[in-house]
A and B are shown apart, each in its own frame.
Chain A
Amino acid sequence: MYRIAEFNMDFKDMGGYLKKLCAPFECESGIADIEITVTPKDLEREKELAENPHSREYLESVAANRLLAEILPQKDAFLLHSAVFEVGGEGVAFAARSGTGKTTHLLRWQALLGDKLTVINGDKPFVRFFEGSEYPFAYGTPWKGKENLGNTGKTPLKHICFIERGGENKAEELKKDEAADLLFSQVYMPKNPQSAAKTLELLEKLLNTCKLWKITCNLDNDAAKNPYKTIFER
């Protein structure tokens, strides 16, 4: 049994690679909130979707992530493709199209802030809403991206930053409709109609709850300085 995003999760007949990814999340056995079974059909689908050939065990881990992402919205949670970290008790998500350099920019923030910054998940954090809670929480997951950044923790998600490459380094606040357009491409949109409708509801909540930013940055070593000042030293 594994405790991920404060859900008890059971993965049936899991292979060694997925077991290794999930190991830090292992918990004492209990009643599963979510049960995931990867079928041969799921594996076949991942094989078709993958750009490069991968082992069966790797494909199983991707399929398990997808199956989870299909179910999560029905439990007030969803997968946000982003790098999430915490600074001074505030969670920040960096979202960007792949290849933009969100991890590079995260590393600039890490260099600037040192121990004050904790990476929660570098690639596929889950975001979960709770009744009565002012902010959603972003959680570490076993799927940490190729840089393998992240832990098993959580953070109250207060800032969503969309990263773009540009000449100067700055952060500007975005309006909800501007952020919505950028957000759609970074959220896992389920095939399941109930989950998809719920995802749209959760996105509306996210846009109403979090501060929304566009960070323009270059690759300079001090690229984090100005955006950090704008977001945290208001």
Chain B
Amino acid sequence: MKLKYEFVTNEVAGKTVAVAVGDSLEAFGGYIKLNETGAFIFSLLKNEISREEIVNAVRGEYEVEKERAEEKVDEFLAYLASFGVI
């Protein structure tokens, strides 16, 4: 999977904020607020990547159990899917 749109991100008011740019701005006009883990996963999704690869990357980055990492990843992917961006 991969982000459908092109985004730029930056810290605003203590959260990472992603806004769509280029032609993506018209297709997805809003912004998405990301927590720390979310921002990490979001950055991975700029390139094609599988759920398993994301889970492994999260385990490596945050040293968490596989189950916990899967839970976090699924929760975040559902959040992104609710915006229609993956």
- A204:B12 contact, CB within 8 angstroms: yes
Residue of B at shortest CB range from A175? B13
- B21:A200 contact, CB within 8 angstroms: no
- A197:B14 contact, CB within 8 angstroms: no
Q: How far is the CA of A196 from the CA of B17 in the complex (A)?
A: 11
- A200:B19 contact, CB within 8 angstroms: yes
Q: How many interface residues does A have (CB within 8 Å)?
A: 18
Our pick among A189, A190, A193, A203 for the contact of B12 (Cβ within 8 Å) is A203
- B22:A184 contact, CB within 8 angstroms: no
A154 to chain B, nearest CB (A): 25
Please provide the chain B residues from 15 to 50 with a CB less than 8 Å away from any CB of chain A in the complex: 15, 17, 19, 21-23, 25, 31
- B12:A180 contact, CB within 8 angstroms: yes
Given the known interface contacts A184-B31, A189-B25, A191-B25, the answer about A196 and B19 at a Cβ–Cβ threshold of 8 Å is yes
B21 to chain A, nearest CB (A): 4
Q: Tell me the dominant secondary structure on chain B's binding face.
A: strand
Q: Tell me the dominant secondary structure on chain A's binding face.
A: helix
* Interface: B70 (CB within 8 A): no
Q: How far is the CA of A196 from the CA of B21 in the complex (A)?
A: 7
- A200:B15 contact, CB within 8 angstroms: no
- B8:A196 contact, CB within 8 angstroms: yes
Residues of B within 8 A of A189 (CB): 19, 25, 31
Our pick among B6, B10, B22, B23 for the contact of A200 (Cβ within 8 Å) is B10
Q: How many A-B residue pairs have CB under 8 A?
A: 49
Residues of B within 8 A of A200 (CB): 8-12, 17, 19
Q: How far is the CA of A180 from the CA of B8 in the complex (A)?
A: 17
Our pick among A192, A193, A196, A204 for the contact of B11 (Cβ within 8 Å) is A204
- B12:A197 contact, CB within 8 angstroms: no
Q: How many interface residues does B have (CB within 8 Å)?
A: 16
* Interface: A177 (CB within 8 A): yes
Given the known interface contacts A191-B22, A191-B25, A196-B19, the answer about A177 and B8 at a Cβ–Cβ threshold of 8 Å is no
Q: How far is the CA of A35 from the CA of B56 in the complex (A)?
A: 49
Residues of B within 8 A of A219 (CB): none
- A177:B10 contact, CB within 8 angstroms: no
A229 to chain B, nearest CB (A): 27
Residues of A within 8 A of B8 (CB): 193, 196-197, 200
- A177:B17 contact, CB within 8 angstroms: no
Residues of B within 8 A of A203 (CB): 12
B4 to chain A, nearest CB (A): 16
- A191:B12 contact, CB within 8 angstroms: no
B10 to chain A, nearest CB (A): 4
24 intermolecular pairs with C-beta atoms under 8 Å apart:
A176-B13, A176-B14, A177-B13, A177-B14, A180-B12, A180-B13, A180-B15, A189-B19, A191-B22, A191-B25, A192-B22, A193-B21, A193-B22, A196-B25, A197-B8, A199-B19, A200-B9, A200-B10, A200-B11, A200-B12, A204-B10, A204-B12, A204-B13, A207-B13
Chain A residues within 8 Å of B, Cβ to Cβ: 176-177, 179-180, 184, 189-193, 196-197, 199-201, 203-204, 207
